[in-house]
Amino acid sequence: MSFSREIQILLLTCAIICAAVISCKPVDTQTTRKKLQSGDSAEQVKLGENTLSKKQITAAANATLRRHGYNHRKLRVFYDEGNVQWMGITRNNLALADSLKSRLEGRDYQFLLYTKKQPWLGWVLWVIIDRNTAEELLFIVQS
């Protein structure tokens, strides 16, 4: 039995997304809130002078979801430290990487994944936020 090329690409993309979702570390909002309230600056990413904190980036991503009609409180968020999962996704999907190159090139960005409580049931939301301006750079619903 042979699959068409499109089905093979779709299956490979789904497998990569599932692996990314499973291996990402969920954001612990309670711990993050306590650390930020205590003045701990360890959560701040030090890549640039105007770099936003993890909490601010997550809040910007949550606002992006609301603008697109999703309730972030009903979803699980994965903050991709160092954009490791995003690099894996684009490395394995060159067409996606090429299509987003102009939008992301030269930008300091953070990749976040949102899933239903059971990530294998349904869709995954991809959100990329500029770490300096909190601007939405990418929003994709991957089913």
In a domain, 7, yes or no: no
Q: Which helix (H) or strand (E) holds 15?
A: helix 5-23
The answer, as to whether pTM is greater than 0.75, is no
Query: Domain count of the chain?
Result: 1
Contacts of 109 (CB under 8 A, 6+ apart): 83, 128, 129, 130, 131, 137
In a domain, 14, yes or no: no
Domain that holds residue 56: 27-142
In a domain, 72, yes or no: yes
CA triple 18-93-121, angle to 5 deg:
20
Q: CB-based burial of residue 14 (10 Å sphere; 0-12 exposed, 13-18 middle, 19+ buried)? A: middle
In a domain, 107, yes or no: yes
pLDDT tens by residue, 41-88: 443 444 455 789 999 999 999 999 999 999 999 899 999 999 999 999
In a domain, 88, yes or no: yes
In a domain, 58, yes or no: yes
